[in-house]
Amino acid sequence: MEAFCGEWKPVSVSENFCDYLTATGAEADFVERVREHIKSGNIAPNLVEKVGIEGNVVNMTVEVGGKETYKISLKLGEPTEIQTLDKRTVTRLTEFKDGEFHFNDTGPYEAHLTSKIIDGGRILLTLSCNGIEATRCYERVA
């Protein structure tokens, strides 16, 4: 799990990422803002995701432009109610097996996310909802 600790920035996203967001029920204006960033080649401007592990708790913080905008703590094996980046409430079950994080979201939608280390230290996040699968790739900042 320690390999996931650090600061990460998104460097690529699959073409159907916005389809995934739509499948989760994200609001159209949020999806459109994401779509415009992707089209411009600026996947997530000034976004940094920080990951820390304390025992069996995974702490995640998202910063945009140096300001903390989102923070969650997830205890392995226990469902946790969280708010998504676009302020929807879901229950997330977090597990770590075979070197990968598995996140299962239930609530207004059901989704499965898998995060694994690939290609010399990058993180590949695979997201699926209602038959739509998308990916995001992150590289270490610090």
Structural domains of the chain, ranges and CATH numbers in brackets = 2-140 (2.40.128.20)
pLDDT value of position 34:
86
pLDDT value of position 45:
63
Task: Specify the range with the lowest mean pLDDT, choosing from 19-23, 28-32, 129-133.
Answer: 28-32
What is the 3 state secondary structure string of the chain? CHHHCEEEEEEEECCCHHHHHHHCCCCHHHHHHHHHHHHCCCCCCCEEEEEEEECCEEEEEEEECCEEEEEEEEECCCCEEEECCCCCEEEEEEEEECCEEEEEEECCCCEEEEEEEECCCEEEEEEEECCEEEEEEEEECC
pLDDT value of position 37:
82
| Mean pLDDT value across residues 112-139 | 95
Model confidence pTM above 0.85? yes
